[in-house]
Amino acid sequence: MSSSFKKFDNYNEEWLDFVANCRKGVYTEEYDIVMGGIANDKVFRTIDLYFAGDISKDEALKRLMFDSFAYVSSLQ
Please tell me the predicted confidence (pLDDT) of residue 69: 55
Which pTM value belongs to this model? 0.74
Q: In which element (H, E) is residue 45 found?
A: helix 41-51
Rounded Cα–Cα distance for residues 36 and 73 (Å): 7
pLDDT in tens, 14-49: 999 988 888 888 877 788 888 888 767 788 889 999
Contact 11, 72 (CB under 8 A): no
- Residue 25 CA to its chain's centroid (Å): 13
Contact 16, 42 (CB under 8 A): no
Please tell me the predicted confidence (pLDDT) of residue 76: 47
